[in-house]
Structure 1
Amino acid sequence: MKPVAIAVFASGQGSNFQAMVDAQRSGLLGLAEVKLLVCDKPNAPVIERAQRAGVETFVFQPKQYSSREQYEMEIVSELQRRQIQYVVLAGYMRLLTPTMVNPYMGRMINIHPSLLPAFPGKDAIEQALDYGVKLTGVTVHFVDNGMDTGAIIAQQPAAIHPNDTADTLAERIHHIEQTLYPRVVSQLAAGKIRLADDGRHVMVEQ
Structure 2
Amino acid sequence: MLQVGQQIASLKPEIIFEVTSHGVSDLRRFLFYLNSFANGSAETDYCSCTPCCYDISMPMDAQLSHRLSQELIMDGLNVSAVMFFPGSHGTDGNAVLKSAEVIPLLFIKEIYQQKKLVIFSQPSRCCDEAPSMAQELLTLGHVLYQKLDALQEKVVFVLSGELAAKHTSFGPNSAAAEDFDNHCGHWASTLHPKYLLDYAAKNAAEV
| TM-score class normalised by the smaller sequence | under 0.3
Structure showing greater relative contact order (alpha-carbon pairs closer than 8 Å, 6 or more residues apart): 2
Which structure shows the bigger proportion of residues in helix conformation?
2
- Find the structure with the greater CA-based Rg: 2
> Given the two structures, how large is their TM-score scaled by the length of structure 1?
0.28
